[in-house]
Structure 1
């Protein structure tokens, strides 16, 4: 047996979460630089400034990360004086903003705290950055030994974020349960891996129970219990699961056919990830249905298909503006995706095509 260490980031959640910034961050120094998306920083700025008033901690500046998480963007920001004089980095915004700050943290060897302003993914709590090229194409995954020193989730800010982010976050998050449980099927698991696999069920169950009301409350701008539970499932539970089942002993149970389906479609000319029907989590939510058909879980597929319909997530191909010809064109890329590297059986292009055809008959 090998030694191993598990580091799970802590979090504070609620409409007054920022009041705890000093408690968790002051031990790392007195100067913080805020880096994030322009709209995210605008939403969080007043609360950040107010939270640090009279604490002895100061903010050296507010810097926009750009549009993509790239090595070049991280290097440019790392060279700025406001960043170099800071003791701690504050990552504010969505996944690409937070992932960029992770890269800066790696370049400078400085700690960072995460301030997610939307509930669309688990970037704030995970220890990986999804890095792109300057032209927006995928570059690589960068894995870290450490994650955020603390995560501050202001549910009032998230309640006033555009609905599309939470909507896509639900699709991406509930996929984690099905992908992890299938990837780990039949494996002898270490304690931490078993924790992750069992915890992954919460990624699905919490959203089945609270997702619909959370979306309604998001539209109304209400920081409710349902919205908080959905946000925690998306931002925290998924991130913890990802770290617990990630690359250890050459085993990674994070991947699965739902994400392979999405990344395969990304190879199609004209497939625009910024379109509402093509948002990562939206397409992955349909990819779960494909995954379940491929795995022989037809009853579970019908159940989640109804869940998708109830929340307005895609239930048939036309809901993501994709045809069977598109699937056939992209199927070979889907089957070669690295998310399928550790799977209990070999996945073929024909399996994607057959599953999509069966769903397309609905």
Structure 2
């Protein structure tokens, strides 16, 4: 009998000012803490992290600035530093690649990791997964970890001050939970965990549909509101639970197209969720959904500041670039989850249809 292994974060703190509980959380896990993340992430939280650790008499060992890629080399480099410095608890901040690098290194060293996302770009903060890349930024695989974060701290006040495109990335990635799970799941077989995962994914869609525009406005103003909190719950909690309960097997053509984008030098630097968000629209076209439904999805994407045309992703993509992206997407493991085989022509036509409809004034 197949055993489905569920790995949840040990503790989740969410809401405005949640960072004020970080020190107490770390103090229960270890007495020597290292802050890990990207340059912007570290700059946005280091003062508060150091203050929180000091209040709990936890030794702050400084920070380790990551290169920006969650690749095997960077994971090993960080793991070596954790061992060398005798780190007992890792505070990981930044976006998905930084958090995934820290989680993977923590598992290698058997050191607890507390995730403190400084951007809401993915559900990485709560999942026992690492999206690994090659050192050049091209997608490699989705790597399951033995355990998830020891604690997750989701502070709406902190996340309200991040650049808007990161929230938009989170919205795009979270919308994919619904669009993709709906496309690949068998409605007649939604029992147990698969049914719960699908319900969670639909809740993600509903919250974004109602609150995305106001949440984006909160980030533009740099001040948290109820809408932002609702959207953050969708991005981190409900989307994260969908990933956990499906063991990562909830992706389809939208993520496959993202994989393809990472094969192209002109697009691989674009945030994961922005590319997935565009991929969502192409997925709907691949499913032959009506123009009316696609126009509604385009309107939601615009309200979420998600790109709806290739020119918004990269204005100088050549036909050869697009062929490379499509060919790579068709080879991606995510594409194999689709209920029918997708051809190069179908994907190209889907992209063209989305772009044509994106120019329609509603």
When normalised by structure 1's length, the TM-score is: 0.89
When normalised by structure 2's length, the TM-score is: 0.89
CA separation in 2, counterparts of 1:356 and 1:158? 32
Deviations 1:97-126 (A, max 9, x none): 111111211221111110000111111111
Paired residues of 2:212 and 2:303 also in contact (CA < 8 A):
no
Match of 1:240 in 2: 241
Paired residues of 1:159 and 1:222 also in contact (CA < 8 A):
yes
Where do residues 94-243 of structure 1 align in structure 2 (5 Å cutoff)?
A: 94-186=95-187, 188-243=189-244
Give the 3 Å change call, closer, same or farther, for CA 190–349 of structure 1 in structure 2.
same
Give the 3 Å change call, closer, same or farther, for CA 23–191 of structure 1 in structure 2.
farther
1:333 aligns with 2:328: yes
Aligned-pair distance for 1:15?
2.9
Match of 1:358 in 2: 353
Paired residues of 1:317 and 1:359 also in contact (CA < 8 A):
no
Alignment partner for residue 318 of structure 1, among 311, 324, 345? 311
Aligned-pair distance for 1:301?
1.7
- Give the match's secondary structure for 1:361: helix
1:273 aligns with 2:274: no
Aligned-pair distance for 1:325?
6.4
Structure 2: runs of 5+ lacking an equivalent = 358-362
Give the 3 Å change call, closer, same or farther, for CA 209–115 of structure 1 in structure 2.
same
Paired residues of 2:137 and 2:262 also in contact (CA < 8 A):
no
Paired residues of 2:24 and 2:56 also in contact (CA < 8 A):
no
Match of 2:360 in 1: none
Structure 1: runs of 5+ lacking an equivalent = none
Aligned-pair distance for 1:144?
0.9
Count of matched residue positions in the alignment of Structure 1 and Structure 2 = 353
Aligned-pair distance for 1:342?
2.1
Greater displacement, 215-224 / 19-28: 19-28
1:255 aligns with 2:256: no
Give the 3 Å change call, closer, same or farther, for CA 325–80 of structure 1 in structure 2.
closer
CA separation in 2, counterparts of 1:37 and 1:358? 37
CA separation in 2, counterparts of 1:4 and 1:263? 26
Paired residues of 2:139 and 2:262 also in contact (CA < 8 A):
no
CA RMSD, Structure 1 to Structure 2 (Å): 2.3
Give the 3 Å change call, closer, same or farther, for CA 32–335 of structure 1 in structure 2.
same
Paired residues of 1:255 and 1:338 also in contact (CA < 8 A):
no
Aligned-pair distance for 1:5?
4.4
Greater displacement, 73-82 / 36-45: 73-82
Greater displacement, 178-187 / 149-158: 178-187
Paired residues of 2:326 and 2:344 also in contact (CA < 8 A):
yes
Give the 3 Å change call, closer, same or farther, for CA 314–74 of structure 1 in structure 2.
closer
- Give the match's secondary structure for 1:68: coil
Give the 3 Å change call, closer, same or farther, for CA 289–101 of structure 1 in structure 2.
same
Deviations 1:67-120 (A, max 9, x none): 212222222222226764122111111111111111211221111110000111
Paired residues of 2:174 and 2:205 also in contact (CA < 8 A):
yes
- Give the match's secondary structure for 2:28: helix
Alignment partner for residue 296 of structure 1, among 263, 266, 288? 288
Match of 1:6 in 2: 6
Paired residues of 1:77 and 1:83 also in contact (CA < 8 A):
no
